[in-house]
Amino acid sequence: MQASTYKPTENPMLTGSLGRCPRCQKGHLFRGFLTLAPRCEVCGLDYSFADPADGPAFFAMTIVAVPALGFALWLQLTYEPPIWVHLLTTLPLTLAACLLLLRPLKGWLVCSQYFHKAAEGSIDYEWHARAKRDRDVGKS
């Protein structure tokens, strides 16, 4: 099927959170828990453009930090438990919340890269050549 027959996502947050392909919204984005598939099995979109780097981890930690700290403070101030209680409650809850958020956040960032056509910066040599030609024409 031609790429133009697909209707790309208009909601990268929803499509990515569901782990769907940003172009056809039917294929899977992930091969494992956090490993991206090489390409969409439905439309063939090559996922090599996707590079969310540390973005999902940053957002997961940022989102989870305040509630986790609030829980730890509430637990400590209410029950004054020994530190091992925090190791058995606060720490696993914080880790689980971060891990649960990683996949939808990574899907969202990958779909946003596709939606916004985000790519690594590069020099547009043709644009510079045209600009130089226009400047030279203006001088003469």
With CB under 5 A as the contact rule, the residue among 9, 15, 21, 29 that binds Zn ion is 21
Give the residue with the Cβ less far from Zn ion, 64 or 111: 111
Among 43, 64, 105, 111, binds Zn ion (CB under 5 A): 43
CA-CA distance, 73 to 59, in Å (whole number)?
A: 22
Is residue 37 a contact residue for Zn ion (CB under 5 A)?
A: no
CA quadruple 26, 119, 51, 13: dihedral positive or negative?
Answer: negative
Q: Per rule CB under 5 A, is residue 27 in the interface with Zn ion?
A: yes
Q: Give the one residue of 40, 60, 68, 111 binding Zn ion; rule: CB under 5 A.
A: 40
The tokens for 103 are 């996949």
What is the dihedral sign for C-alpha 18, 24, 27, 31? negative
The piece of 15-23, 81-89, 116-124, 127-135 that touches Zn ion (CB under 5 A) is 15-23
CB of 33 to Zn ion, least distance (A): 20
Q: Tokens 């510079």 belong to which residue?
A: 128
Helices (H), 11-89: 12-17, 55-79, 83-88
Size of the site for Zn ion (CB under 5 A): 8
User: Rounded to 10 degrees, what is the CA torsion of 104, 110, 116, 120?
Assistant: 140
**Interface residues with Zn ion (CB under 5 A)?**
21, 23-24, 27, 40, 42-43, 45
